[in-house]
Structure 1
Amino acid sequence: MAEASTSRGISKGLVKLTVLLGISFAAFLIIKPFATEESYRAFPMIGSRLWVWIIAQLHLNFAAFVLGVPIFAVAMEYLGWKKGDERLDKIAHDFAKLFTVAYTITAIFGTVLLISLPILYPKFTEHMMKILGPTWWAYIAVMYAETVIVAYYYYSWDRMKSDGKGRHVFLGLLVNIAGTALLLITSSWVGYMTTPGGVNESTGELVSRWHAIKTHMWLPLSLHRLVANVVFGASIGAAYAAYRFITSTSPEEKAYYDWMGYTAAMISIAFYFVLPGIGYLLGVEIYAFNEQMGIQLMGGFFAWLWVMQAILMGLILFFINYYLWISLNKMPGGERYFKYVKLLYVFTFLGWAIWLTPHSVAVSLEEA
């Protein structure tokens, strides 16, 4: 019965992926005869750029969850296996449920994006296929491999729980390897678009495909995305646990989801504090590629995006402090620390305000 369930799960995953890819390629073949010399096409009402941004962002959000959650899910499963802690195994299983659902949604948004790009940006898509075409096929191959591994990992959980737990943890490791491979491939696309290499600067013709992949941004961007995925995935996991805590009726369930939320939040917080350092490393590589580009990005017109990011990062820090403060209410003796809460908020706010204040920001296009 368990074997049949696993086989059905793998088959469903492969069928879904094949159908979505089939839709993408069918759309591409349908529009190909109508190809023109246009470099760009307009999307109704909101424009092509905004449409692609929305779809790409939704795709990336779910992809971040799919790639980030398995990292700590497998870590939890491994610790639960070694320590014999049933709670750790259960929390790992609950996280696995979440990322298997998100996997399908990620693929759907990816399909919409894959259809949108050649329609709205035909010249761009043609160029990317010419320069990095083999990586697209590698991406599809890895997606199929990951689909099989994810389905087998999830549906074989109970069957391998008592006998073969080590093999099951290894399957989880393979899920993470496949996810990291997808991340590296997609980061090479972004890296080429932002800090291009491996092509003739005058003609745009390919000189070295490896150098087109291994650009200045490739590895630091991949590392930044990997850590950010863990932060994002753990945050969503904590939010899910909070929702289940509110809707649960039994004290046992409430205690479990409270612990699950706390664990996920701590994972998110721990990786969050690593993220700025990796972000600075990414900034260094951007400056190394083109100093003017770095200045324009951080001190020119785009600097307002950095200010917005600083606001959001400060809010995250406030929410973290607030969460920890609330957690004190559940701990015996925690009230003795309440007198320090306001002081911590003041110091956090002052540090945030100093860091947030822009020193050289363009306020008009003429200044940019």
Structure 2
Amino acid sequence: MTIVYNKRRGIVTIPIRHLVTFVAFLALCVTGVAGVYAQTPGSPSVEFPYTGNRAAVWIVAQFHTLLGAFILGAPIFVVMAEWLGYRKQDLRYDRMAKEVTKITVILFSLTALTGGLFIFVLLATYPQFTTWFINQFYLVFAVIYPLMFILGTIALYAYFYTWDAWKGEKKGRHIALGVLLNLLCMATMFAINGPTSFMNTPVKEEGISPMEALAAATLWDKIANASWMPMNIHRIDGNIAFGGFVVGLIAAYMHMGAKNQEERAYYDWMGFAGNLIAVGAMLLQPFTGLLLAYQMCDYDFSFCQYMMVEQLSMFFEMQGAIVGLMFLGCNYYVWLSLRRIQGVEQVRMTVLAPIVMVLFPPVAIWGLTTYWIPEPMSLAILIPLALAPFILGRFIPVTVSVHTVMKIGFLMVVVSDAIWLTPNGFAATGARMLDDLQLPESWDFLGKMPTKLGAIFSLVFATTINYILYGKAIRQGTIAWGKIDGISQFVLIFLAFTSIWAMGLMGAVRSLLRKFFHTYNLIPDFTAESFTPTLSYSAWLITGITVVFFIVVSVAVFVALRPVELKGREPEGSPVPAGTK
């Protein structure tokens, strides 16, 4: 059943199910906030069966966050794709943008529903804390966040249902609506990141107690806390990368199920486009993550010890393994992609590129150890080294083949990740690090932060060189879309899975940094579940959440895209005014 308006007047058809979802979300917001104020001060919490209270909140919150990350990242990807289609007069971009939007609409509804579920689970399991917390941010939870979400919902459905109505000469209007959608999504994320970051870094003032500082703080002081803006930056970057990897996942599914060469060629290209945008954003992820960690350590230095040396150190070992595998996967996808490019043998690059890739780890480690950030000398060493292949390479006639550069780059990715993974020692969660399990004194520099940062710089540099060379090969050669090795589709699926898993892991780390507090140094957690879980327990929980999210996205892909293929695809609208062709 649908509500139908006159399309000649520019009004569109809206299915009843989407209106029902919208009304349900409003009801959840109203009843959720009202439920907080209906509680008595001593209302008891419930004992969640099977999982326990903390795990129940963890599961619902993480699942909601994953959905939210996609619906915030996907619109950025979609509008970029639609604009590129408009600019390049390439219908593939327009088709890709529309297909991703179809899936986004489905997952948007689930995001609203899981958000409401999250409120109810919090109210049931931690009623006193939830009451206190919403009181601190009542204007955010009761007005700003719901309003932004409602406006974003309207903008998303308007954006999707005007896709065919606003084509040709009206395409610019549709892109502008997409930009508005992204601004609303961004405002929604900024609003909810205030309370989220506040739990780790609440307001504080020298010379007075945390409660006195809280009493004197305004709402803006609470929102604009020490980690708020770094979290915003990190999540914007992460959501773009996350959206790109999920687009790669969608393309891989559809490529493997394609019935003809035309469809395989299109979804091969779609996987390439999604991966390219995801990798571009991922290259910034280590640095935006370090910015967030730096701000949190500056707020309370005990966070650094807790993260890197004590209870959560093995979590960071796992993070290094996962991120390293993602870099390896991205570079392997490029290697597989080269095989479908005709004339790639003629593509060459200056010999300085592989030389600098080999020299980059030791030079970066030495430079950062000698001149630790923010010393400008550290950048004075690294920036010229990184630019040398592009500037000095023009004057050196010796070149090497694209395959040679990529092989060396792949090797340096492995070496850099091994350096990143090398810990100062091993310690079980909840135990002290034993001397016998620490690095020898002559090798302990491998466990220090300058070495880790040097390894990260090396990973990013090697991957950047490989992708620049990949772009050069595409421009100079002839790419045969649809002819890529079948294993590449599993690489795209793997990258999406590891991206989701890494997001779950680091979300857990950020939450566990609060130690024995609901809100750090303000509201202690006296429940029996107030302890740092082991990496094994956390990994199983994160894996379960990731698998469920994977299944949900897979079903959304099938529902949104497969029926269109069975019925026969409708002709796509022109992304540009007809008169410009």
TM more than 0.5:
yes
Query: Which of 189, 193, 197 pairs up with 1:187?
Result: 193
Aligned: 1:44 with 2:49 = yes
Residues of 1 paired with 2:320 and 2:45: CA distance?
33
Aligned: 1:162 with 2:227 = no
- Name the structure 1 match of 2:115: 110
Identity %: 28
Question: Structure 2 unaligned runs (5+)?
Answer: 1-5, 346-400, 434-581
Residues of 2 paired with 1:191 and 1:30: CA distance?
24
Deviation for aligned residue 1:342: 4.9
- Name the structure 1 match of 2:446: none
**Corresponding letter in the other structure for 2:420:** W
- Name the structure 2 match of 1:153: 159
- Name the structure 2 match of 1:88: 93
The more displaced of 261-270 and 90-99 is 90-99
- Name the structure 2 match of 1:363: 428
3-state SS in 2 of match to 1:78: helix
Query: Contact conserved, 1:198 with 1:212, CA < 8 A, in 2?
Result: no
The more displaced of 130-139 and 15-24 is 15-24
Aligned: 1:246 with 2:252 = no
Query: Contact conserved, 2:140 with 2:191, CA < 8 A, in 1?
Result: yes
Identify if the C-alpha distance between structure 1 residues 6 and 295 changes in structure 2 by more than 3 Å, giving closer, same or farther: farther
Query: Contact conserved, 2:60 with 2:117, CA < 8 A, in 1?
Result: yes
The CA deviation string for residues 331-365 of structure 1, in whole angstroms up to 9 with x for no partner, is 11447755665544332212111111111554352
- Name the structure 2 match of 1:173: 179
The CA deviation string for residues 201-257 of structure 1, in whole angstroms up to 9 with x for no partner, is 136536321110100110000110111001111101011011111111121111111
Give the number of the structure with larger relative contact order, counting CA–CA contacts within 8 Å between residues 6 or more apart.
Answer: 2
The CA deviation string for residues 294-338 of structure 1, in whole angstroms up to 9 with x for no partner, is 221222201221111111101111111221111122111447755
Query: Which of 68, 71, 76 pairs up with 1:66?
Result: 71
Aligned: 1:79 with 2:88 = no
3-state SS in 1 of match to 2:115: helix
The more displaced of 213-222 and 128-137 is 128-137
Residues of 2 paired with 1:129 and 1:198: CA distance?
19
Count of aligned positions: 368
**Corresponding letter in the other structure for 1:259:** W
- Name the structure 1 match of 2:381: none
Residues of 1 paired with 2:71 and 2:312: CA distance?
30
Query: Contact conserved, 1:5 with 1:155, CA < 8 A, in 2?
Result: no
Aligned: 1:54 with 2:63 = no
The more displaced of 305-314 and 75-84 is 75-84
The more displaced of 202-211 and 73-82 is 202-211
Identify if the C-alpha distance between structure 1 residues 118 and 281 changes in structure 2 by more than 3 Å, giving closer, same or farther: same
Residues of 2 paired with 1:26 and 1:211: CA distance?
28
Higher CA-based Rg:
2
Query: Contact conserved, 1:131 with 1:206, CA < 8 A, in 2?
Result: no
3-state SS in 2 of match to 1:194: coil
Deviation for aligned residue 1:14: 4.4
Question: Structure 1 unaligned runs (5+)?
Answer: none
Identify if the C-alpha distance between structure 1 residues 244 and 366 changes in structure 2 by more than 3 Å, giving closer, same or farther: closer
Deviation for aligned residue 1:100: 1.3
3-state SS in 1 of match to 2:259: coil
Identify if the C-alpha distance between structure 1 residues 116 and 166 changes in structure 2 by more than 3 Å, giving closer, same or farther: same
Aligned: 1:97 with 2:106 = no
TM-score (structure 1 length as normaliser): 0.92
Residues of 2 paired with 1:39 and 1:230: CA distance?
41
Deviation for aligned residue 1:7: 4.6
The more displaced of 116-125 and 151-160 is 116-125
Identify if the C-alpha distance between structure 1 residues 27 and 132 changes in structure 2 by more than 3 Å, giving closer, same or farther: closer
TM-score (structure 2 length as normaliser): 0.59
Alignment of 1:1-368 (within 5 A): 1-2=6-7, 7-9=12-14, 12-23=17-28, 25-26=30-31, 35=40, 37=42, 40-136=45-141, 137-197=143-203, 201-202=210-211, 205=215, 207-334=217-344, 337-338=402-403, 342-359=407-424, 362-367=427-432
**Corresponding letter in the other structure for 1:296:** Y
